[in-house]
């Protein structure tokens, strides 16, 4: 059985294209705007949509996503509402949707009921930032049973042994962290990404998306030389923060995605 | 024959009560960290297990505890306070007399030695009341390590004295403005720093919290308190205490003293949490009174959280107890029925603070005053030959401004009887 995520990556491979995975926080600035943002990202050509669940203590995130989480919590967004948001947009969005969360909100709902609700909402994959493979046994099993891809993160500090374990347990794709540290846009790409991707590639045929710190078409071109997809989060979240009240928000997002994908457009290069 | 008192060195207890291989005490603990920290945390566990079985390391630490910290700290019988209460004999384990003024130095030195042994030149730490930050800055000054301490902006205001102390000791103190700007947020920020600098930096966590091996390691470094206290109380009172009382923020001073008595089933172990303005107001930090099982900052334990799994804001007059989670081993001891957990309010702690100052000439930390308040309430209802041992975890210089602001600095002769929530015992 091939998942929506696997199909997207296999199409990308056939076309020889680099995939674009986008991250936004659900409920930032509010849930109805989030629905518009997700639809816009899908239409503008994002290949996978990551939807972040706001959490009170996002210790793996830099300031930009921390603030987004705070705004989303202030607007009253919960994990349950995040799943409802996904359910609402699922019918009109082509791209697979991956829930990006910390462990506690999921454990609070309970694994079983989370998996059931996520499956019903049309969630394709789930990635939990603070649930390494050693703690993820039941979690992985429950998701796979519910037809959802468990996605694991790999870092420059991950040992070869654990890469192999993650590759065996993961579905859909593996998420390679480009650098040490928290999430957040950087002007320069981390060195050593290719080495890490090569280490992952040598043990698995699962597609590899690389993220953390990517914000510019030149980063994507670099990533395109080794990985299957690039993840852009903080740069997009920052844009949403700046344009939250603007009527042009969706247009700005479309332009940003076009710029990232093709290097076209203007005004994004000021960083 | 003249009896001469020889101060014998008592060492921390290592390797007696380990969690399972994955760092679980029962169902509590574990290692819930971002992927980048998995390997560094494994390296840390390996380095720690090697160090604790290396006589050279233990000797180095023992020597520092002896000559630099001034251990063993005494046990002191608070006779005037006991008399005033009219009940059991009250003994204080004087961790306030340890160098830097609190038990925190026991752990800070142990981990700083480990950091140096691992070849890390930089240490990051969080601090709430500032006592752990001061202890860490001290250990780093002693061992020539760079030190950066994260502290909630709110805590920097209410514990300003300790901010100055850390800076004098050569540490950089970085304010944290996110969330409630207290201990929890300082831990988030210290972990963010660590995840970006794992190669050259050591995270020196100050309590029995966080991912494995921290809860074990911090308890073992603090176990020197209980090991000493058990010998001392046998000497001075001729038997084991009936009750041992300690305050519980993360819970390191409590586990430190409990460790000496956990196998003595006749000894009741009482942990005292911060009841703030009382549980019913929602403004408190009593995890066992209002919390539920969850995962926060690397460990599975009991936390104060809402129905959506977001961590709730806490309140306590004491910065060191103002934290939403509790050490996993405490959750386990409670589940086993081996330790009991209660809470006292800000007001009760402030009253106990004043009583100890006036009757014994000792100004305790507001954290320790929570343990005192509970111990006094219990002692007043016990027999005269019974013994209550309190861990006086720190001294209260840092708190005098808060106490004055709260209007508890001039109570005249008002030595009111303690009135803790006996019924709140879980």
Question: How do residues A180-219 score in pLDDT, each as one tens digit?
Answer: 999 988 888 778 899 999 999 999 999 999 999 999 999 9
For the stretch B70-123, pLDDT in tens is: 999 999 999 999 999 999 999 999 999 999 999 999 999 999 999 999 999 999
- Under the banding of pLDDT at 50, 70 and 90, the label for residue B416 is very low
Peptide bond into B72 cis (omega under 30): yes
Instruction: Give the tokens for residue A194.
Output: 């290719």
**How high is the mean pLDDT of chain A?**
94
In this prediction, residue B423 carries a pLDDT of: 40
* A50 given a catalytic annotation: yes
Q: Which of B187, B188, B198 sits opposite A157 (nearest CB)?
A: B198
Asked, for residue A267, whether it belongs to a domain, the answer is no
Closest CB from A73, A130, A155 relative to B32: A130
Q: What is the pLDDT of residue B421?
A: 43
Q: Which residues of A touch B179 (CB under 8 A)?
A: 56-57
Cα four-point dihedral sign B373, B375, B381, B385: negative
The two structure tokens encoding residue A50: 């990551």
> What confidence tier does B411 reach under pLDDT thresholds 50, 70, 90?
low
User: pLDDT confidence of B179, banded at 50, 70, 90?
Assistant: confident
Residue B141 has pLDDT above 50, yes or no: yes
Facing B295 at nearest CB: one of A103, A159, A181: A103
Confidence of residue A243 (pLDDT cuts 50, 70, 90): very high
Residue among B219, B319, B321, B305 nearest B262 (CA): B219
Please tell me the distance from the alpha carbon of residue A218 to that of residue B261, in angstroms, as a whole number: 62
Mean pLDDT, chain B, rounded, equals 94
Higher local confidence (pLDDT), B418 or B369: B369
Catalytic residue (choose from A61, A124, A222, A238): A61
Count of domains forming chain A: 1
The predicted pLDDT at position B413 comes to: 43
Res B9: pLDDT: 86
Given an 8 Å threshold on Cβ–Cβ distance, is B38 in contact with A158?
yes
Instruction: Judge: A78–B22 Cβ closer than 8 Å, yes or no.
Output: no
ipTM for the whole predicted complex goes beyond 0.85: yes
The tens digit of pLDDT for each residue in A3-21 reads 999 999 999 999 999 999 9
What residue spans of B238-345 are helical by DSSP H? 252-258, 287-290, 328-336
A55 in a domain, yes or no?
A: yes
- B40, B188, B296: residue with CB nearest A157: B40
pLDDT at A2: 75
Tell me, what's the pLDDT at B425? 38
Which of chain A's residues have a Cβ under 8 Å away from the Cβ of B22? 134-135
pLDDT of B363 over the 90 cut: yes
Read off the pLDDT of residues B40-75 as tens digits, 9 standing for 90 and up.
999 999 999 999 999 999 999 999 999 999 999 999
Q: Do B36 and A62 touch (CB under 8 A)?
A: no
Higher pLDDT, A189 or A168: A168
Does position A228 have pLDDT exceeding 60, yes or no? yes
The answer on pLDDT for B29 being more than 90 is yes
pLDDT value at residue B386: 98
Cβ(B339)–Cβ(B270) under 8 Å?
Answer: yes
Q: Does B127 have pLDDT greater than 80? A: yes
Strand, helix or coil for residue B307: coil
pLDDT (0 to 100) of residue A149 = 98
Q: Provide the pLDDT for residue A271.
A: 38
Asked if the structure places residue A240 within a domain, the reply is yes
**Residue A23 near chain B (CB below 8 Å):** no
Residue A41 maps to a domain? yes
Which tokens hold the place of B130? 């500032």
Task: Please give, rounded to a whole number of angstroms, the shortest distance from the CA of B194 to a CA of chain A.
Answer: 8
Count other C-beta atoms under 10 Å from residue B173's C-beta.
20
Q: Which residues of chain A neighbour B34 with C-beta distances below 8 Å?
A: 59-60, 129-130, 153, 155
B2 — pLDDT class (breaks 50, 70, 90): low
A268, part of any domain: no
Which tokens is B140 given?
Answer: 């780093």
pLDDT of residue B3: 52
- Specify if A271 maps to a domain: no
CATH code assigned at A185: 3.20.20.70
Please report whether residue A21 resides in a domain.
Answer: yes
**Binary contact (B192, A159; C-beta < 8 A):** no
Q: What's the gap in Å between the CA of B133 and the closest CA on chain A?
A: 20
Q: Measure CA B373 to chain center.
A: 16
Q: A157 vs B38: CB contact, 8 Å cut-off?
A: yes
Q: With beta carbons under 8 A apart, name residues in chain A contacting B38.
A: 132, 134, 155, 157-158, 162
Task: Specify the pLDDT at position A192.
Answer: 85
Task: Tell me whether residues B39 and A132 touch, CB distance under 8 A.
Answer: no
CA nearest to A128 within chain B: B34
Give the pLDDT confidence score for residue A134 in this predicted structure.
95
CA–CA separation, A36 and A23 (whole Å) = 14
Lowest mean pLDDT: which of A169-173, B411-415, B421-425?
A: B421-425
The answer to whether B384 is a known catalytic residue is: no
Mean pLDDT of A33-52: 98
Per-residue pLDDT band for A266 (boundaries 50, 70, 90) equals very low
Cβ distance of B199 and A180 shorter than 8 Å = yes
- Closest partner residue to A135 (CB to CB) among B30, B40, B297 is B30
3-state secondary structure of B234: helix
Q: What is the pLDDT of residue A187?
A: 85
- Domain of A166 in residue numbering reads as 4-262
* Strand pairing category for A208-211 and A229-232: parallel
pTM of the model: 0.95
Query: Is B351 an annotated catalytic residue?
Result: no
- pLDDT tier at A263, thresholds 50, 70, 90: low
Q: Which residues contact A14 (CB under 8 A, 6 or more apart)?
A: none
The model's confidence at residue B7, banded by pLDDT at 50, 70 and 90, is low
The first and second tokens of residue B52, run together, are: 């604790």
pLDDT digits (tens, 9 = 90+) for B302-336: 999 999 999 999 999 999 999 999 999 999 999 99
């Amino acid at each position: 059985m091939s998942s929506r995520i696997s199909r997207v990556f296999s199409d990308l491979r056939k076309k020889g294209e680099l995939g674009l995975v986008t991250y936004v926080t659900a409920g930032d600035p509010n849930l109805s705007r989030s629905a518009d943002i997700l639809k816009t990202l899908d239409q503008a050509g994002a290949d996978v949509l990551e939807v972040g669940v706001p959490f009170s203590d996002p210790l793996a995130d830099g300031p930009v996503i921390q603030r987004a989480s705070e705004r989303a919590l202030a607007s009253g967004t919960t994990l349950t509402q995040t799943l409802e948001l996904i359910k609402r947009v699922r019918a009109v969005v082509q791209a697979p949707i991956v829930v990006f969360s910390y462990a506690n909100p999921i454990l609070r709902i309970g694994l079983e009921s989370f998996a059931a609700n996520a499956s019903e909402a049309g969630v394709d994959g789930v990635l939990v930032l603070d649930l390494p493979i050693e703690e993820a046994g039941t979690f992985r099993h429950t998701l796979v049973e519910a037809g959802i891809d468990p996605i694991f993160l790999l870092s420059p500090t991950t040992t070869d042994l654990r890469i192999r374990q993650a590759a065996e347990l993961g579905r859909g794709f593996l998420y390679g962290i480009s650098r040490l540290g928290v999430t957040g846009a950087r002007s320069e790409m981390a060195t050593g990404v290719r080495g890490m991707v090569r280490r992952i590639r040598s043990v698995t045929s699962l597609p590899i998306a690389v993220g953390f710190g990517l914000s510019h078409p030149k980063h994507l071109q670099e990533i395109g030389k080794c990985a299957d997809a690039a993840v852009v989060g903080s740069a997009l979240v920052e844009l949403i923060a700046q344009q939250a009240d603007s009527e042009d928000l969706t247009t700005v997002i479309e332009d940003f995605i076009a710029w990232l994908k093709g290097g076209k457009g203007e005004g994004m290069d000021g960083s | 024959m003249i009896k001469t008192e020889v101060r014998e060195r008592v060492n921390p207890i290592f390797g007696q009560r380990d969690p399972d291989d994955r760092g679980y005490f029962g169902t509590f603990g574990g290692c819930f960290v971002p992927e980048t920290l998995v390997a560094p945390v494994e390296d840390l566990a390996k380095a720690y297990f090697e160090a604790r079985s290396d006589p050279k390391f233990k000797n180095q630490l023992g020597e520092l505890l002896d000559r630099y910290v001034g251990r063993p700290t005494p046990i002191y019988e608070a006779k005037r306070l006991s008399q005033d209460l009219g009940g059991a004999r009250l003994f204080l384990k004087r961790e306030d007399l340890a160098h830097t003024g609190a038990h925190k130095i026991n752990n800070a030195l142990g981990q700083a030695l480990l950091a140096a042994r691992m070849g890390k030149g930089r240490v990051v730490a969080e601090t709430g009341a500032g006592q752990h930050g001061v202890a860490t800055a001290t250990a780093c000054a002693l061992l020539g390590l760079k030190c950066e301490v994260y502290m909630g902006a709110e805590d920097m205001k209410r514990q300003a004295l300790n901010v100055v102390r850390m800076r004098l000791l050569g540490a950089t103190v970085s304010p944290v403005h996110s969330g409630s700007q207290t201990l929890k947020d300082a831990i988030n920020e210290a972990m963010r720093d660590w995840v970006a600098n794992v190669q050259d930096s050591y995270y020196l966590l100050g309590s029995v919290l966080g991912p494995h091996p921290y809860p074990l390691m911090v308890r073992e470094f603090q176990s020197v308190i209980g090991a000493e206290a058990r010998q001392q109380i046998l000497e001075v009172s001729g038997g084991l205490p009936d009750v041992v009382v300690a305050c519980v923020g993360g819970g390191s001073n409590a586990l430190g003293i409990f460790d000496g008595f956990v196998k003595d089933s006749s000894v009741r172990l009482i942990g005292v949490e911060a009841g703030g303005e009382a549980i019913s107001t929602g403004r408190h930090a009593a995890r066992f009174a209002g919390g539920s099982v969850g995962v926060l900052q690397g460990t599975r334990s009991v936390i104060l959280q809402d129905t959506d799994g977001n961590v709730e804001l806490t309140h306590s007059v004491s910065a060191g107890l103002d934290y939403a989670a509790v050490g996993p081993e405490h959750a386990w001891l409670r589940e086993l029925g081996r330790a009991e957990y209660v809470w006292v309010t800000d007001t009760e702690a402030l009253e106990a603070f004043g009583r100890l100052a006036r009757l014994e000439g000792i100004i305790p930390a507001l954290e320790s005053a929570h343990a005192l308040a509970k111990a006094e309430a219990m002692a007043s209802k016990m027999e005269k030959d019974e013994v209550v041992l309190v861990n006086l975890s720190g001294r209260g210089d840092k708190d005098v401004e808060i106490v004055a602001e709260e209007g508890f600095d001039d109570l005249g002769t008002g030595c009111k009887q303690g009135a803790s929530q006996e019924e709140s015992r879980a």
